[in-house]
Structure 1
């Protein structure tokens, strides 16, 4: 049953594999609908800043050597501190993931209370794994064929086949995404084709 309806702030989770074009899809949505878009990677960067929830915990865990001259956590130094250390990476993720989720939930609650937006879209690679089906009204899967994704990653990021294989092995497969998501956007082709799918889905909402 479609849970997306006018008259309320709908919460939509956006997920999909690397190279599927989630940013492109969200760019279109942001330009054409009355919404707010939350990128979990941006939130993860924000909450590592001084004064935000994860800062003190990460500095206590990793030590002050991960700080830059400005007293903020240096991303390069932090990456070096956890490189090839699965135990440390797990500890860092145990700090970051709950803090990201709490931060996003606070934004969602604020927007729902205001009631000014039709949508809040939340993009996260681990949307399904982190239980966003309990937070969002619907989960949407941005799909692109593996061949398309490989070509995009080579062209836009210069990734090798070996690196792409390593990333794909760690991500959910197509069947799992489809099992957990209520709507699939086939983004293998042009933006116009994807936009038409989105507009049909959201036909009850007025474009900007």
Structure 2
């Protein structure tokens, strides 16, 4: 398959679907992976580039260790206008890190952008393939509720803010099933790498 390098795979999926596991399989196959969640932690962490703006917009939510997640969460959770304000600060900073990543790996055959809200935002416009990680609801629920501090109420609240899995699957170029064993998941990732490399 001939394509201007690199071929960009947009990796996404709802909470508890196994996206991190799929990303790790791409890394195992030597594809560089940009982790949007890690980038958010970086810009909000100690000396993060977004800290000063976040503190200005949400006083008392940052400190020497970066963003105080519980305080910032309380400031924006369930408040769409406040959440938008935070996104206007964080997203451009994360976007710059993504551009650096793309530049660093511009000569590679394949790169992967691991972006949880790829389809909810405009990120899908910058990729060549949308890959959605999915699993049956009962598998997703069991995975999420096994996380420390997670409750059924929190899980329901997260789902309410994410695009439904069925919609994501319909928009995908390829769906990776993670509820039917690791071997099938790995084979799917490996076959994609073979096609696009």
- TM-score (norm: length of structure 1): 0.81
Report the Cα distance in structure 1 between the residues aligned to 2:62 and 2:189, rounded to whole angstroms.
43
Equivalent pairs, count: 197
**Retained in 2: the 8 A contact 1:6–1:204?**
no
- Higher mean Cα deviation, 197-206 or 99-108? 197-206
CA gap 1:164/1:66 in 2 versus in 1, 3 angstroms: closer
CA gap 1:54/1:151 in 2 versus in 1, 3 angstroms: same
Deviation string 1:120-163 (CA, Å, 9 cap, x unpaired) is: 21112210122122211111001111111112222344643333
Question: What's the secondary structure of 1:35's corresponding residue?
Answer: coil
**Retained in 1: the 8 A contact 2:8–2:127?**
yes
Equivalent of 1:192, from 183, 192, 196?
Answer: 183
Partner of 1:10: 7
Alignment gaps of 5+ in structure 1: none
Partner of 2:22: 25
CA gap 1:111/1:80 in 2 versus in 1, 3 angstroms: same
Report the Cα distance in structure 1 between the residues aligned to 2:148 and 2:47, rounded to whole angstroms.
33
Question: What's the secondary structure of 1:140's corresponding residue?
Answer: strand
1:83-102 superposed matches below 5 A:
83-102=77-96
Which is greater in Rg? 1
**Retained in 2: the 8 A contact 1:16–1:142?**
yes
Report the Cα distance in structure 2 between the residues aligned to 1:66 and 1:147, rounded to whole angstroms.
35
Partner of 1:61: 57
1:1-208 superposed matches below 5 A:
5=2, 8-31=5-28, 33-49=29-45, 52-63=48-59, 65-68=60-63, 70=64, 72-112=66-106, 115=107, 117-157=108-148, 159-204=150-195
1:52 to partner: Cα distance: 4.6
1:184 to partner: Cα distance: 0.9
- Higher mean Cα deviation, 184-193 or 50-59? 50-59
1:187 to partner: Cα distance: 1.2
Alignment gaps of 5+ in structure 2: none
